[in-house]
Every structure is written in C-alpha cells, then in structure tokens.
Amino acid sequence: MKAAVVVFPGSNCDRDCKVAIERSTGAQVEMVWHGDTALPPGLDLIVLPGGFSYGDYLRCGAMAALSPIMAEVKAAAERGVATVGICNGFQVLCEVGLLPGALLRNAGLKYVCKAVDLDIVNGQTRFTAAYGQQRQARMTVGNGEGNFFADEATLDRLEGEGHVVFRYRDNPNGSARDIAGIVNGQGNVLGLMPHPDRAVEAELGSADGAMLFQSALASA
C-alpha cells in the first residue's frame, strides 16, 4: 500500500499524518511538495494535511488550491483515488471544487482546540468501514475557520444521499447541521475538520482516527 501527504507552505500536520498512516496501516508514505507537478505512481491514498497553508492569506485554502500539485491531486481524485483533506485540507478540497460548501469563521470568532465526540453517520463509506458497529468516535479539532456552510439545497442533498460521514455531538464551531465531515458523490473524497492524525494511539486520548486510515487503505 502506498500513500502521499501533500506539503504546503504553512502545513504543520504533514509529519503527523505520515506517522499516523505508517503506524496505523504499515503503508509506505511519501511527502509531496506543493510545487511538484507530478504525484508518485501507484498511490492508494492522498492526504491533504492540517495547518495554515500560505498563512491563510486571502481565504483559508484558496491559495493552496492553486498550487501546481493540486491539478494532479484533482485528476487522481476524479479517477477514484482515495483522497482525504483534514482541517486545512478540507478547506483546500472545497476551494478546488472536489467537495461542496465552504468553511467560515467559527461562530464564536475564536480558535477552538479541544477533543470532540463525533457520531459516525455513515459507516458504509470507504473511510469508515473499519469502524464496524462503532457509531461514535473521539478526535480533536484545532481551527479558527471550521464552520461548515452550504445552502439548504446542498445540505439536504448531502444528508439525503448519505454524504454526511461525521457529525459533532457538541458542535464547537457552528457548522451547519453539526456537520464535521463529508464525502463526494463518488465516495472517494473525504473532508473533515477533526484530526484523525491526532487520534491514532490510546496515549493521545483516542485511537479512533487510526480506523479511518485503515478503512481508506483497506478499500484499495
């Protein structure tokens, strides 16, 4: 199994993701610089990590979406390669058009960093299959712009078609309908604000995030 973690200027969870994937799955993980114009061959998983790409200038994820490597990421995702955007990575996926909606300033206008409890709304996706009958998970959030927003028609479609994957039990940032993570229509692109990479060992407070990476690579 082979995965890639894309590194943008300002990424700060890229190494966390690399270690989390390696320890959770045993997969080979390559770091890919944002200025590269090609992805490694034979990838089973692409991860856009958390952080503050380009210092969050202009709008979170907007500049990263224009990085050279993103054309290749988008093409790979459209071919069906499993792609995960975590926190800032979720923002990038929305900016590049791989997922609907947008991430706005938190409702309280403050940065929020804490453990959160999640409902696993759809356990049948390629990112949640390893959870089995488990319907709750604990991860952490760390963001100032994690407030998921979409128009009512889009929200209805996401819920009606089973594209809402994770939902906050105690919404920390004001996200519409408590949405914490969604997948695209094809089911191979996941964006979520909580960090599975910070929840892969019991010593970190939870190992629930490990099953997300295991699910993604098992499906490959």
Catalytic residues: 87, 195
- The end-to-end CA distance of the chain, in Å, is 8
Class of residue 170 by CB neighbours under 10 A (exposed 0-12, middle 13-18, buried 19+): exposed
Check if the beta carbon of residue 138 is closer than 8 Å to that of residue 180.
no
Instruction: Identify the CA nearest to 124 among candidates 135, 113, 116, 114.
Output: 135
> How many angstroms separate the CA atoms of 123 and 48, rounded?
22
- Measured over the CA atoms of residue 199, residue 80, residue 184 and residue 136, the dihedral's sign is negative
DSSP helix, strand, coil percent of the chain (3-state; round to 5): 30, 30, 40
Q: Which residue has the tokens 């590049």?
A: 96
The letter for the amino acid at 162 is: G
**Cα separation, 6 vs 29, whole angstroms:** 11
